[in-house]
Chain A
């Protein structure tokens, strides 16, 4: 029986603000899974805390609503336990670039075969609009009536500096492209990072659909751009920093880097998953390693 979008939904309706970018991101994710024919019961999504995390109630897949900033290591643990599952880590820009920054660094370095979706709304929304590193300098935010005093972080350059094997940027208002990006991210064997610019009509009013339409350039429209070229990718990231434009699409992908599990010496040649291997193990042959 063919899968339908509704198969990926729970019976609960979302609680996001009208016009929230999370609606679009969720539809794109579910559509991507459906079009790839990945069954809800072979999908695991780990959620951050925050507006994106509240999406946990709406999915019909296996899922874990974890802790603020912690969805990535939980996804990794699940992935290593059973690689038959498609594993998604869902996280906000606050969780990703603040509370759990070390996790994305190490996930990229180790190249686990998971997909990380960053819901980037340029603020901490569920706690009512505090600044994140992606909030522009000088912008007035919660508890900052005179504006955010620090510089913002060039997250594109930061992520590229980690040598990801898949890095894409999407926009919550462009469902067809975002769906395609997520499909490619899931299909990529390795750690896929998708930084998704998302509408936040409550705490980031300036960046409305019109603003995004004026500031987004699709990578597909560029002539002679190769997402297999690290030089093209780095040039594009520099261009984004200079022009403040958002380029959506797959910035870089490299299929030649082995995943963490592929490099794990102890698992070479084993086809079963460790979630299938919990049984009494005879330790007799290991006693000689004692003391």
Chain B
């Protein structure tokens, strides 16, 4: 185990309050000056099943969960059995309930790894301390805080701050936290395997999910309308923007379906504002006719595609990146587009702003690829990056579809007194009149596709992280960056080439790595190696070594190291 990291996992049924407990622990640890990475796993149902909330802690910025954890707190029998196998050596499991009947394998596992089990009846303790049943979570938190050897005052302050404004008996809540902290079941030997990293200071990071960062980035970029339709894992963008609309004053609308959400965005963007819609794979499929229409009509559009795993309904609450093809290729006809992939909260914040600038300037649809792992995980961020300058390329009226070398035609905002123009999904002449003449059809099509070249000239090269002299280079996009950045901290012989821009694709660096004789490994969260295929198609470069993971789980440090040790 890397001594700079520690993890606490909560397990239970959906609806048992593990999210609240996880959030409270994350925020309290954040108050100590340490960095966290928290992620939720949950089934596609409202109450029941097995859900978890894992909080990883370090004294450096971290971006992924470790496979193993040092403290496990379970609130259901099913979660006890499910999560026990990955409790690390000398770890502690706090089970909220009766003594469990262990399987022979579990007995052996516990003995071999010197695991400790504590049975804590949190609800009973909460009631004894004047609290309600739901305050059982405070008892558990208090006990965990003691295992972490942290000042109880910090926990109490943070929890009360989180609960301020809510109709909660704060005195009882405090008593429950302290009842857990001072519980007689705690004994010194329990903490032997648990060492919270030494804090770097007392600063507090911003705790932020990828979706929140997208919402904030969009607002910073001047987005003034959001058209939503619920679909996990995109929905919390809608929630954040809805919950803050009283302050941001945006137009917010739940459309009747994703088709409508995309069309409303297109209409609003035509009219000169910045609008956004966000969905997952199934909803994105419904938006594709609009995306194709934006391609032809040269209407700016920004769509967030937050991916989950599988075709059809797939595995709705689990992560993956199998929608790259549909983002890059979906839609009838040849048309230019841009596909950008976010990877963590800060990139969510910056790249959504880039997406709006590109959509406006190049007048084409931009698809911002995200993943459940990025969308819903809670990153601790020192500070959000600087806001991008808004770049719209709005000019004075002339020919709306003028044929230019760059492919970019003049666009102006519809305004009273300015020459009106038509956007059209028909092939058209420079003034927007529909045409079927062969010379005109080809000329306008060529003009539009030239925007891909112009755009390619503007987008940055992929970024190489880690030791440039390393022998092994992983290549990837999206959430793979998170596990890789954490792995690089442990292994100097690994570097990682990360792509923010998926299409157009700038991939000379991959060829350079191959030329240098490096071991280049493609890493993707899908079954088909879709990025690898796109790379081959666009550049002729075929990456023979591929590590593909498509079980609904994100890559972890452990996955990467295991792969290299095979």
Contacts and interface: CB of A to CB of B under 8 A. Distances in A.
Nearest to B271: A81
B420 A60 contact: yes
Interface in A89-146: 102-103, 105-106
Contacts of B413: 275
Interface in B221-238: 221-222, 224-225, 227
B474 interface: no
A40 interface: yes
Interface centre among A39, A49, A277 (most CB of B within 10 A): A277
B438 interface: no
Nearest to B264: A77
Interface string B231-264: 0000000001001111111111101110110011
A63 B251 contact: no
Interface stretch (A192-200, A237-245, A263-271): A263-271
A54 B273 CA distance: 27
A82 B414 contact: yes
Contact of A81 (B267, B289, B392): B267
B2 interface: no
B454 interface: no
Interface residues of B, number: 73
Contact of B245 (A56, A75, A105, A265): A265
Contact of B209 (A70, A274, A290): A290
Interface in A37-67: 39-44, 46, 49, 54, 56-57, 59-67
Interface stretch (B74-82, B423-431, B475-483, B528-536): B423-431
Contact of A291 (B208, B257, B390): B208
B220 interface: yes
A81 B268 contact: yes
Interface centre among B245, B256, B417 (most CB of A within 10 A): B256
Contacts of A44: 271, 414
B212 interface: yes
Contact of B222 (A76, A103, A278): A278
B222 A277 contact: yes
A85 B424 contact: no
B219 A10 contact: no
A81 B419 contact: no
A76 B275 CA distance: 13
B244 A56 contact: no
A274 B225 contact: yes
Contacts of B417: 39, 41
B272 interface: yes
Interface stretch (A150-158, A173-181, A214-222, A279-287): A279-287
A26 to B, nearest CB: 15
Interface string B338-381: 00000000000000000000000000000000000000001000
A102 B267 contact: no
B219 A78 contact: no
A77 B434 contact: no
Interface residues of A, number: 62
A80 interface: yes
A225 interface: no
A128 B421 CA distance: 30
B253 A278 contact: no
Nearest to A265: B246
B492 to A, nearest CB: 33
B134 interface: no
A27 interface: no
A44 B266 CA distance: 14
B422 interface: yes
Contact of B424 (A61, A65, A267, A286): A65
B416 A65 contact: no
B265 interface: yes
Contact of A67 (B245, B249, B274, B293): B293
A66 B299 CA distance: 11
Given A61-B420, A64-B297, A265-B246, A77 B222 contact: no
B415 A291 contact: no
B216 A291 contact: no
B273 A277 contact: yes
A106 B229 CA distance: 14
Nearest to B227: A77
B272 A275 contact: yes
A74 interface: yes
A279 B240 contact: no
B419 A41 contact: yes
Contact of A56 (B225, B390, B424): B424
B416 A41 contact: yes
B271 A82 contact: yes
Given A73-B264, A77-B263, A289 B243 contact: yes
Nearest to A49: B425
Interface centre among A49, A61, A64, A289 (most CB of B within 10 A): A64
B495 interface: no
A39 B417 CA distance: 8
B224 A66 contact: no
A64 B270 contact: yes
B327 to A, nearest CB: 20
Closest 5 CB pairs of A and B: A77-B267, A81-B271, A73-B263, A274-B224, A77-B264
9 contacts: A42-B416, A80-B267, A275-B272, A278-B272, A285-B247, A286-B244, A290-B209, A290-B216, A291-B209
Interface of B: 23, 26-27, 206-209, 212, 216, 219-222, 224-225, 227, 240, 243-253, 255-257, 259-260, 263-275, 289-290, 293, 297, 299, 378, 384, 387, 389-390, 392, 413-426, 433-434
Given A67-B290, A290-B216, 4 more contacts: A56-B422, A66-B263, A266-B246, A291-B208
